[in-house]
Chains A and B, each alone.
Chain A
């Protein structure tokens, strides 16, 4: 009855109607004799689920994030075209629902069919449910029970029960005797991750799932994303954590800590143990997918090397201390430095791995309690040029659009980013769209995974982004492809820009970048004429001498072609760390406070002072590189570093070490004894993301809830609570750390957090700015830019001093990056099985260079820069052009940053990690590291 009433309502409201006057009728189809409204294009199964709930008919090959496939046939229903018409049996998962159809879900005939299909399945399936790892959580078991199977009537015949288990891989496992050939794993590998590692071999009854060319998981090209394991309805493909096992476990949703994508994770846990992690299908960000870091690299949390107690260095050795002892020491040292040398002799580095609330507290502590603006964060060494460049162009230093806009774009430009490794879920999405025909431009010196699928790959010489973008802009204007109306309405500075760009010396830029001008021209035309073009950039843009200018030129491209302010366009930095967007939003930078207000402006200062109830300085504080300079000059007396391994990851390692040694008092708040922590006077054990609550803001400005799964291990504490404890001990009254309480405080000072409350964030978070009524924002700059008009600026290419000064003696260019398996300094990922997959940093070298230097694949080589040298294993590959070398910096055994320079982005002081002049030779030390030798 309720349903009938609902339909009447729908009909009178003109549901599905084109015009608002209710004259268009609802289209209906019948389920077991009752009419229900249908939606255009939906399958019968979707239609049934909308009206009958999640499980209207049994299914096996259907999965929430996969296309309909139609192999299992157990979702079959009977369908008649009209009342009393002839019925036909149809698979509901791939048959479109039609107006007027009569669908019968439960006739004797379909019930028999389902039962008989399952009986056939069970003729080739082990009947060992009670000892199976997924007992109680197996879809085959569920469906068998649902259809009422009692036994198998067929006599013994051929089976595949003797298939061997594959336990070769650090994470992935398979037992194909349990396989029901539903292809969900194959489809997940294809449609979700886009990796094509899995397929079927043979045909008919003997067809079987293969990894690679019928090899093991370990020998295959598997990227360990676990999509196949999550997709498998039985235990045929699983993982070492037995993620689908029905343990007496609680499931808690939280957000991954590994990158700016912000995947939602569903953590199974009981007591103080985490069993496994799956990706929730209803997550807006990752819809049932995540990568091996999110899904599998969690076991660092109770690693024996986790710091469990505060440590105080006494006579050069760390000894365990109580929190009171540590706090007393810190408070006395900070107070002493403050009174003797002034507040500006103290600095803080906050962590983008920590929550918004913790970052807010740290900057508040440094500003309001210590009384200095010497607060900075790791954004300095990654996306500071993005924030600055985009603020200059648009007024807001954050992604203009959302990742889901990929659905609406016609052209994706990826510059200086390798999301397949750095942001795997976004990388997988980009690859899916590229494979399906969305145009893809990749500007990157390396042949990245995406570059292989690109329509235009521009393998420029590292350090020449400005030259290439100028060429693109030149051709766009020369061809008259600019959006004149958009420029007239929404841009400023265009006329000057136009004059400069049309005078560009193309021949010179061609020579500088090493790219054929026609290739650049075609890519530029593709971007400008696609209708909707969306750009993505990473650290290959920012970590350069001309990083901020490059960001501004990317913004120029968007403004000049009108590709901003609507769906499917915009400038979208792929933010590195899980909360690097949030840390900047919270004021972790020396020139802007929480909410990006300029701290040098007296009225802003007044606002903050009133809110913090303390006087605040008006002078811009020190950026991270300036902190080290100050330390070396003897002006920095104390530094507090949270969750950043500056020794391993900041450039010019030896200089960083000297700076820390020159600082009187160093506090490091960490999970592990990192290279940086070794130089601390006090080491405080922080809590991992699994042990605290708060919020992270992902790269698309989405503020999401992080929920504590466990209590902090040992005597460790949430980082926010540690800061609160010290604030109180230094005389500032700050309530204990709670995520909802902190958010309430933040929403009162950060304008774009105004409408955010812990409750409102719900499952999938909100994208800032969030209005007071809770409305969030998917697209920025729709009507007008935050700064008013969009600023178009010209910047000529300038060679970095690194090349100008050192090219002669160091003719190779080393560019650094990261890989899929490890995260930054690797403190966490190296303490998981990821280290069995990626065992060490490797040096990419072109086969021509390898040959001319007599270097063989897998040999140890020595690379030397004006700063230092390191030995590393060579990997001969055409992934880099001759003259270019590339490596990661995840392993302290290598310490690649011994090589990197002091050169920084001229505007934002982001170090130039991406261009290092080096030379290379065979290492004198002969020997190769064995797999597994490099652990923790």
Chain B
């Protein structure tokens, strides 16, 4: 990350965004060198920088040129075993060199997911695929169940847009301090995985002296298996947007950036339309509802890089830099986007704010457990009878979600990967021990994370799943820190060699590798991978032991 480039690209208005311009230059799948040079000149940086940025992203890198179809290779589709057939089917219509990969399209409930012409599809029959590629008019929306137990904060019916923005109207009548107090009282904790109290971030940013500040919505829900943010972006867009506006009001920021992963094309459209809708309705722009407060949105479509879900990489991405993880401090609230004070929050965190402002911080705090307030969305994949998005109060037994809402397993499952690739692997026999809150998962050496649930079938070799996790990390590592850049590859190689060659892994070496990743990595990608690996080694030792030296 270059401080200079942050300053230079920040000289322009957020509407004049380098990253977006690089993305838009990729007309044929990758920008031309001439375009990259011109953009570098325009932003007073080096051609090496714009080129370095473009080559980082799956959908911009030179190898992406000419790709037409992207097949999902996320964990849920892998475990569902749908993708080999899908690839064979698609290759009947499109040559193999025009087929690339996307990691998780958020179709974990249906699987067989792929992207074609900028649209996502899942669970298509061979005949439907034939129709799609024969340029017939074809449309098929995915289906998933939405439900809740307890108090619904996010999934409840919110009424019309005007009904929702009545909350904004009343909020803007309160002082910034009063609004902050409500959010602090509510104890809204970050839903991106870390559980950091949102009020702390807002207060920190509010106290920074700066003419320009930013609210950034991290809608780069890259965790394979998770589609709760996708649900909110597409079905509850105004909760997210209003959460950002209110956050902006508290800290004194006039710009909100919604950074949405490129693998969710529908989400981008819905949010863009929602922004236009409230702009027209007068809930956005200068002097909102006569409050004297100005707020504007910039919606940015990401270009395929899991690491952008890490907040500092995300900031660099918006700036048009290579999204490499930054050191902390400085924290984003001090020096974030363009080196200016910035609050970065996850979609689900922001979406809770309208409820807090409508019902008060005390009311929200009473939902859930003492330490984990509010509700949590969980997404279940197709290994359940009723795949879908479910909202439960924090502290709800996990089995309630899996059995009562999810309808139980649709097939034989031996473990659940809950929270994303960097969270714990829960053996099915431990489900009864867990409740849905940060503390319960931590106590059992798991992590709540995104609370996405991917089922690992009984017959799916655990060693293969571990290799998949290493491979995923290697593919998504930004490459900045040594342990992650090198360790993810070496781990994948070891596991692959043990499966395919007469080779047994030294347990000492493997433990050293896992420890190096865990303790040495700069961010939670390399640092998080060891958790599911260690869970597997502990709980599935029998199955894995044949790959290790005795």
Given A123-B486, A199-B49, A202-B61, decide whether A116 and B481 contact each other with a Cβ distance below 8 A: no
- How far, in whole Å, are A207 and B36 apart by their CA atoms in the complex? 19
- How far, in whole Å, are A201 and B48 apart by their CA atoms in the complex? 8
Given A120-B516, A196-B45, A432-B4, decide whether A70 and B481 contact each other with a Cβ distance below 8 A: yes
Q: Are B36 and A213 in contact (CB under 8 A)?
A: yes
**How far apart are B534's CB and chain A's nearest CB, in angstroms?**
16
Choose from B7, B482, B503 the contact partner of A436 (Cβ within 8 Å). B7
**How far apart are B150's CB and chain A's nearest CB, in angstroms?**
34
Contact of A194 with B by CB under 8 A? yes
**How far apart are A181's CB and chain B's nearest CB, in angstroms?**
7
Query: DSSP majority for the A interface?
Result: loop
Contact of B509 with A by CB under 8 A? yes
The A183-220 residues at the B interface (CB cut-off 8 A) are 183, 187, 190-191, 194-207, 210-214, 220
Q: Write out the residue numbers on chain A whose beta carbons fall within 8 Å of the beta carbon of B61.
A: 202
Q: Are B478 and A194 in contact (CB under 8 A)?
A: no
Closest A-chain residue to B520, C-beta based?
A: A73
Given A116-B515, A154-B494, decide whether A205 and B474 contact each other with a Cβ distance below 8 A: yes
Contact of B483 with A by CB under 8 A? yes
Given A435-B8, A436-B3, decide whether A76 and B48 contact each other with a Cβ distance below 8 A: no
The B12-62 residues at the A interface (CB cut-off 8 A) are 33, 36-37, 40, 44-49, 51-52, 55-56, 61
Contact of A153 with B by CB under 8 A? yes
- How far, in whole Å, are A190 and B7 apart by their CA atoms in the complex? 12
Closest A-chain residue to B45, C-beta based?
A: A196
Q: Mask for B470-511, Cβ within 8 A of A = 1, else 0?
A: 000011111111110111111001100100000100100100
Q: Write out the residue numbers on chain A whose beta carbons fall within 8 Å of the beta carbon of B512.
A: 112, 116
**How far apart are A112's CB and chain B's nearest CB, in angstroms?**
7
**How far apart are B402's CB and chain A's nearest CB, in angstroms?**
33
Choose from A67, A158, A214 the contact partner of B489 (Cβ within 8 Å). A158
Closest B-chain residue to A180, C-beta based?
A: B482
Q: Are A210 and B52 in contact (CB under 8 A)?
A: yes
Q: Are B52 and A120 in contact (CB under 8 A)?
A: no
Q: Are A194 and B4 in contact (CB under 8 A)?
A: yes
Q: Are B515 and A196 in contact (CB under 8 A)?
A: no
Contact of A69 with B by CB under 8 A? yes
Q: Write out the residue numbers on chain B whose beta carbons fall within 8 Å of the beta carbon of A74.
A: 482
Contact of B372 with A by CB under 8 A? no
| Chain A interface size, under 10 / 10 to 19 / 20 to 34 / 35 or more | 35 or more
Choose from B307, B481, B509, B521 the contact partner of A154 (Cβ within 8 Å). B509
Given A112-B512, A153-B506, decide whether A437 and B7 contact each other with a Cβ distance below 8 A: yes
Contact of A17 with B by CB under 8 A? no
The B240-290 residues at the A interface (CB cut-off 8 A) are none
- Which residue, of A68, A76, A91, A214, has the highest number of chain B Cβ atoms within 10 A? A214
Given A112-B515, A120-B516, A190-B2, decide whether A200 and B51 contact each other with a Cβ distance below 8 A: no
Contact of B542 with A by CB under 8 A? no
**How far apart are B309's CB and chain A's nearest CB, in angstroms?**
14
Q: Are A117 and B516 in contact (CB under 8 A)?
A: yes
Q: Write out the residue numbers on chain B whose beta carbons fall within 8 Å of the beta carbon of A201.
A: 51-52, 55-56
- How far, in whole Å, are A437 and B512 apart by their CA atoms in the complex? 45
Closest A-chain residue to B525, C-beta based?
A: A204
Q: Write out the residue numbers on chain B whose beta carbons fall within 8 Å of the beta carbon of A432.
A: 4
- How far, in whole Å, are A432 and B4 apart by their CA atoms in the complex? 8
**How far apart are A597's CB and chain B's nearest CB, in angstroms?**
47
Query: DSSP majority for the B interface?
Result: helix
- How far, in whole Å, are A221 and B51 apart by their CA atoms in the complex? 14
- Which residue, of B61, B486, B512, has the highest number of chain A Cβ atoms within 10 A? B486
Q: Write out the residue numbers on chain B whose beta carbons fall within 8 Å of the beta carbon of A187.
A: 2
Contact of B219 with A by CB under 8 A? no
- How far, in whole Å, are A413 and B47 apart by their CA atoms in the complex? 28
Q: Are A199 and B515 in contact (CB under 8 A)?
A: no
Q: Write out the residue numbers on chain B whose beta carbons fall within 8 Å of the beta carbon of A194.
A: 4
Choose from B8, B307, B488, B503 the contact partner of A155 (Cβ within 8 Å). B503
Q: Are A210 and B51 in contact (CB under 8 A)?
A: yes
Contact of A856 with B by CB under 8 A? no
Q: Write out the residue numbers on chain B whose beta carbons fall within 8 Å of the beta carbon of A183.
A: 480
Choose from B48, B478, B486, B494 the contact partner of A198 (Cβ within 8 Å). B48
Given A73-B521, A153-B509, A436-B3, decide whether A113 and B515 contact each other with a Cβ distance below 8 A: yes
Q: Write out the residue numbers on chain A whose beta carbons fall within 8 Å of the beta carbon of B486.
A: 120-121, 123-124, 205
Closest A-chain residue to B58, C-beta based?
A: A203
Closest B-chain residue to A93, C-beta based?
A: B327
Contact of A601 with B by CB under 8 A? no
Contact of B322 with A by CB under 8 A? yes
Contact of A480 with B by CB under 8 A? no
Contact of B513 with A by CB under 8 A? yes
Closest A-chain residue to B323, C-beta based?
A: A203
Q: Are A117 and B490 in contact (CB under 8 A)?
A: no
**How far apart are A66's CB and chain B's nearest CB, in angstroms?**
11
**How far apart are B103's CB and chain A's nearest CB, in angstroms?**
13
Closest B-chain residue to A60, C-beta based?
A: B482
Q: List 7 A-B contacts (CB under 8 A).
A: A67-B3, A76-B519, A190-B4, A191-B2, A201-B55, A204-B485, A436-B3
Additional A-B contact list (17), CB under 8 Å, known A72-B481, A117-B483, A157-B493: A69-B327, A70-B480, A71-B480, A71-B481, A73-B522, A94-B329, A113-B520, A121-B486, A154-B493, A181-B480, A190-B2, A201-B52, A205-B479, A207-B479, A213-B48, A432-B4, A453-B44
Partner-B contacts on A (CB < 8 A): 67-74, 76, 89, 91, 94, 96, 109, 112-113, 116-117, 120-121, 123-124, 153-155, 157-158, 180-181, 183, 187, 190-191, 194-207, 210-214, 220-221, 432, 435-437, 452-453
